[in-house]
Chain A
Amino acid sequence: MSRARSFDTVSLVAGIVVIALGGLLLLDRLDVIDIGFGYLFPLLTGAAGAILLAGGLAARPER
């Protein structure tokens, strides 16, 4: 009997965010775009915020 495996929302969001961040940094490295500190800091902040928000919304109160 196979059981449907539920995915972890937080891991999914964190993975997408990290992939997007890595893609942007790669494009910056390839000189396709220019990401200075003025944009990098909000990007990192937003990535951390998205992961935290996903974790907070996905968590259920423990009993």
Chain B
Amino acid sequence: MAGVSVRPVEGSEAGATTAPASSPSAPPPVRRDLSRRVVGGVCSGIGRRLGIDPVILRVGFVAAAVAGGVGFPLYAMAWAFVPAEGAERSAAARIRGRRESWQAAAGAGLLVLSGLLVFRELGIWFSDALVWPVVVAASGAALIWRQSTSATSAGSGTAAPSGRSSAPRAATAQMESAGASSAGSGTASAAAAAAAGPPRVITGLPLRGGPALSRAGLGVVLVLGAGLIFLQANGALGALRDVLLAVVVVVIALGLILAPWWWRLVRNLTEERAERVRSQERAEMAAHLHDSVLQTLALVQRRAEDPREVAGLARRQERELRAWLSGRSEPQAGRSVSSALEGVAAEVEETHGVAIDVVSVGDGPVDDGALTVIAAAREALVNAARFAGEHGPVSVYAEVDDERLHVFVRDRGPGFDPAAVPADRRGVRESIIGRMQRRGGQATVHAAPGAGGTEVELVMDREPR
């Protein structure tokens, strides 16, 4: 009992941090005591709260369970609705919080059932053999319908827009040919070999939701079960049984015949998906190497007469490469799009000594799509700085809203013929266009020889928030 008398003080201390609304003299809430439990900690928790020996409560529950069985549901309800010590919520509250739609569906179902039973009692009824199968089939159809619509919306949300394949089939010959002379074929082939090697991490294929499939499966089972109930109730199941037996035999025979082909088809599809993921990983790695290591090597060759600057470039590249190899997060992650673009522009400005003007309209958080756009914009800025920097400042114009991210990188160089880009040049083709397309975006290079400037247009739909 002495322990009980001091508990309000402990409770008030706890309440100061966890429940500020409660007064200092308020008793602590009931919690199931798992440390001294026999079954679920209900009796020990209530006993501690009331200052009663839990054995007395246990005897009471057992007596209630033996005499009429009331003790069982009482104990179960207490277990469900009283949270355990250290837990924020009870088991029932956790279930409710996880699936609030479950409640709505169950409630609607019970209301429909109630209405049907009332109609049945009033005599406004066709027949049990018709109504109940229809109800079960309707439930199954609703599940299947819901699953199909959610799958459709999910598919349309992740698929790349079909109209995004209109990117120019080639890009900057001037930029790339000059890049070839500075980077050197040795480094290019080394990077290509590194890029063609096994990827560091192969990301898993996206898992289609198991709950969604089980929902659809339950819907199918309900519809089929309703059909069987209907046939059974109308005495037509006997004839169907013979037909079903024949169908089952044919299906099993066909399954045995076609199983090897089916198995091979599934295996090929799985390998194809894995290969597609691997090739995307390789392309991403190649784009990253091009943007980082190859660019730095080109700069090192160009500024070979300044050892201090070369050492600085090498240190910066080493830091960046180590961060990338150790899987540390992107520096732009967590920033806003406009500040990330300004950061990239400042970095290119500092490295290449070219003025870059950044204008942003709207802003938003940097998500994966924005990271791709920023990386592509950085590559476009580097190209513009390298090949058109002496013709004036480079401009970056960004439009950011909830639906789309639109970035233009414009220089005042002499222009070039995008169709004349050699096939082995990866910069614009992979680091800008390929990178954007892999993410579902679009990159367009507006350029022509003597046109007085080049514009790279990057468009990416924003992920829904």
Chain A interface residues toward B at CB < 8 A: 38-39, 41-43, 45-46, 48-57, 59-62
A50 x B107 contact (CB < 8 A) = yes
A45 x B106 contact (CB < 8 A) = no
Complex partner residue of B114 from A43, A54, A60, A61, CB under 8 angstroms? A43
Whether B101 is near chain A, meaning CB under 8 Å from some CB there, is yes
Number of residue pairs across A and B with beta carbons under 8 Å? Answer: 68
Chain B binding surface SS class: helix
Complex partner residue of B111 from A38, A53, A57, A60, CB under 8 angstroms? A53
Chain B interface residues toward A at CB < 8 A: 96-97, 100-115, 117-118, 121
With known contacts A52-B104, A53-B103, A42–B97 Cβ distance under 8 A: no
What separation, in Å, do the CA atoms of A46 and B109 have in the docked complex? 9
| Cβ contacts under 8 Å, B104 to chain A | 52-53, 55-57
Interface centre among A39, A43, A45, by most chain B C-beta atoms within 10 angstroms, is A45
Can you pick out 30 interface pairs between chain A and chain B where the beta carbons lie within 8 Å of each other? Answer: A39-B118, A39-B121, A42-B115, A42-B121, A43-B114, A45-B110, A46-B110, A46-B115, A49-B106, A49-B108, A49-B112, A49-B113, A50-B107, A50-B111, A51-B107, A52-B103, A52-B104, A53-B103, A53-B104, A53-B110, A53-B111, A55-B103, A56-B100, A56-B101, A56-B102, A56-B103, A56-B105, A57-B104, A59-B97, A59-B103
Complex partner residue of B96 from A38, A46, A50, A55, CB under 8 angstroms? A55
Shortest A36–chain B CB gap in Å is 8
With known contacts A49-B109, A55-B96, A38–B121 Cβ distance under 8 A: yes
B100 x A52 contact (CB < 8 A) = no
What separation, in Å, do the CA atoms of A48 and B107 have in the docked complex? 7
Shortest B375–chain A CB gap in Å is 30
Shortest A60–chain B CB gap in Å is 7
B110 x A49 contact (CB < 8 A) = yes
| Cβ contacts under 8 Å, A55 to chain B | 96, 100, 103-104, 107
Interface centre among A38, A49, A54, A62, by most chain B C-beta atoms within 10 angstroms, is A49
Interface centre among A43, A56, A57, by most chain B C-beta atoms within 10 angstroms, is A56
A45 x B103 contact (CB < 8 A) = no
Q: Which residue of A lies closest to B106 (CB)?
A: A52
What separation, in Å, do the CA atoms of A28 and B106 have in the docked complex? 28
A42 x B106 contact (CB < 8 A) = no
| Cβ contacts under 8 Å, A42 to chain B | 113-115, 117-118, 121
Shortest B300–chain A CB gap in Å is 48
Q: Which residue of B lies closest to A57 (CB)?
A: B104
| Cβ contacts under 8 Å, B115 to chain A | 42, 46
